[in-house]
Amino acid sequence: MQEPKKNDVLTDVEKHLQKMVTALENIKIREYVEFLNNRQHLFLSNFLAGMARGLGMAVGFTILGAVLLALLKQIVLLNLPLISDFIADLIQLVNESLKK
Contact 72, 90 (CB under 8 A): yes
Residue stretches of the chain with pLDDT short of 50: 1
Please report the pLDDT score of residue 2 as a whole number. Answer: 56
Distance CA 18, CA 8 (A): 15
Please report the pLDDT score of residue 3 as a whole number. Answer: 61
Q: Model's pTM, two decimal places?
A: 0.51
Q: What is the pLDDT of residues 6-19, one digit of tens each?
A: 778 888 889 999 99
